[in-house]
Amino acid sequence: QVQLVESGGGAVQPGGSLRLSCAASGSIYSINNMGWYRQYPGKQRDLVAAIITGGSTSYADSVKGRFTISRDSAKNTVHLQMNNLKREDTAVYYCAADPFFPIKSGSYPAYWGQGTQVTVSS
């Protein structure tokens, strides 16, 4: 029903920056809750950042002060600005959305993107 399309992934050196974008489209016109997860090989997907109705945001401790999540409500698009990237940020990043429930640790959003690779190395 809903398609999430991610863009902006790639490879950067430590200390560099990337900006991920996720655009939602399909049968739902407004997605109130969106977020970003990341997954290391062989591990579960961990919540990195989330934004809910009203603009409230939350971040994993490992990215606080470095990552910023924002939303363009008119376009049902969420962004993740990643600054001062570190090697441990290397992972597949997934966009997620839910029309009703806030995204938080332990939740399972209704919709997922296909994932985009972020690689941080010298």
Residues 90 and 120 sit within 8 Å (Cβ to Cβ): yes
Contact call for residues 22 and 77 (beta carbons, < 8 A): yes
Which DSSP state fits 54?
Answer: T
d(C-alpha 87, C-alpha 67), whole Å: 14
pLDDT tens readout for residues 95-115:
999 988 999 988 899 999 999
Buried b (16+ CB within 10 A) or exposed e, 80-105: bbbeebeeebbbbbbbbbbeeebbee
pLDDT at 63 over 90: yes
d(CA 84, CA 102): 27
Label residue 29 by pLDDT band (50, 70, 90).
Answer: low
The band of 70, judged by pLDDT with boundaries at 50, 70 and 90, is very high
